[in-house]
Amino acid sequence: MLKNLINTKLENRPIDGFDIHLIKKYEDISSEEEEFRSENLSILLIRSGGFKLKLEEVIQDLSARDLIIIPKDSDCNILEIREKLQLYLVTFSSEFAVKNCLKKELINSFYFFIRKETMKASLDENEYSVLSLIYRLVYYVNRGAYREGWESELHRISLNLFLYELKLIYTKYFGNSMINFTRKENIVMEFLTILSIHFKKQHHVQFYAGALFIHPIYLNRVVKEITGKSVKLLIIEALINEAKILLEDVQISLVEVAEEMGFENLSIFRIFFKKYTSLSPSEYRSNSFEKFKGS
């Protein structure tokens, strides 16, 4: 059961590249070992019961209030499932990580997605209560999206809240170890930080390479190696994601959106937006408004 949930395909979900489960009754209680390789990054929070999991030759004995991050491409072996196991499970794709961590207040959350080490923390009662409440919020928002077929600002708020709380917890428990990145990981984290601050005004690779004092070709190679995406594509995705948020606010004119996003005029912004979304800004706004009215 756990293997299937961790390795579930994340395409065509209400939130692309993301899934969440609230498991009230774990049904695959078996004495047989279950071995698999994780295809997604997964975050588990144990509600009750427990289980033993071997991750990359290290045995993790998990019980109530334990939080564990299982990196993508980890060798997993479920050794034991204890009775009355209940847990929350969130799975992410790499694409989701890149798309959703490009905010100044969330950028440090990206280290969960590029680090290869398993991280485990035993939460105190207050930390557990807060995080489990956020899990349930995200879970029910996600269920609503399945039912109605829409994506809303509530999606973004709940996910941002989840990532932010996760960052606080792991900063507390692993604050010192979090800074031990490789040189390439450091470059990517620094690039993403600069991107989160300047993407609205700086649309060219050369600016970010210059800010890091490295050659644009090298920056692009390192970023693509760690994230799977080119620097230019990350800049474009950051611009499109922010533009969509602004366009969903009907109080902001299209001209103001174009100006806020650093384009010389509305015409250039319109060409850019349609190239990467197949919709004009006004078409996207109209579609968003219709979805809002129908929800």
Domain over 183-294 is classified CATH 3.20.20.210: no
How far is Cα 279 from Cα 83, in angstroms, rounded to an integer? 52
Average pLDDT over residues 17-21: 84
CA-to-CA distance for 159 and 101, rounded, in angstroms? Answer: 10
Assigned fold of 2-179? Jelly Rolls (2.60.120)
Q: How many Å from the N-terminal Cα to the C-terminal Cα in the chain?
A: 33
What would the pLDDT profile of 123-141 be if each residue is shown by its tens digit? Answer: 999 999 999 999 888 888 8
How confident is the model at residue 34, as a pLDDT?
Answer: 74
Domain range annotation of the chain: 2-179, 183-294
Q: What is the pTM of this model?
A: 0.69
**What average pLDDT score do residues 198-219 get?**
95
Q: Which of 15-29, 99-113, 188-202 has the highest mean pLDDT?
A: 188-202
Question: Letter for the amino acid at 208?
Answer: Y
Write out pLDDT tens, residues 44-90.
999 998 888 888 888 889 999 999 988 888 888 888 888 788 899 98
